[in-house]
Amino acid sequence: MFAELEFEVLEEVIIGPKKKPGTHLRLIKTKKNNLLIQTWNSIGKTWTIMYRYGDIEKTWKSWKRIEVGINERKKSKRKPMGNTSTRKPKDKGTVPRTTKGRTKSSGVG
């Protein structure tokens, strides 16, 4: 339908596992020296243009920072912080709302 672009792939960014990436992007340079960012469409098995206008270099650097941040976090051996104790949490400072043991005063006296 549309004419295929002739381009050169400059860089690629893969966010997530390499076998089945969550986001796969590439920076391309066309014949007219325009920069574009494409994303892989896994359903249609095609590359589609994601960014065409604006500051493409700034946007690409942002995606690269995101890739490094996410992929480095996945490589980390640290255990996640949180409630990892085996004790049951206790409600401190709360008063049970029961009516057992209470009697109404008769008001005689």
- Give the start-to-end residue ranges of the domains of the chain: 7-75
Return the closest-CA partner of residue 24 out of 77, 71, 56.
71
Alpha carbon distance 51, 54 (integer Å): 8
pLDDT, residue 1, reads 43
pLDDT, residue 77, reads 60
Return the closest-CA partner of residue 11 out of 72, 68, 74, 70.
68
Instruction: Give the pLDDT band of residue 93 (cuts 50, 70, 90).
Output: low
Percent of the residues in the chain that have a pLDDT greater than 70, as a whole number:
60
For residue 77, the one-letter residue type is K
Element (H, E) at 67: helix 56-75
Q: Return the DSSP state at 78.
A: P
pLDDT, residue 38, reads 94
Using left for φ > 0, alpha for ψ between -120 and 50, and beta otherwise, residue 69 falls in alpha
| This prediction's pTM | 0.60
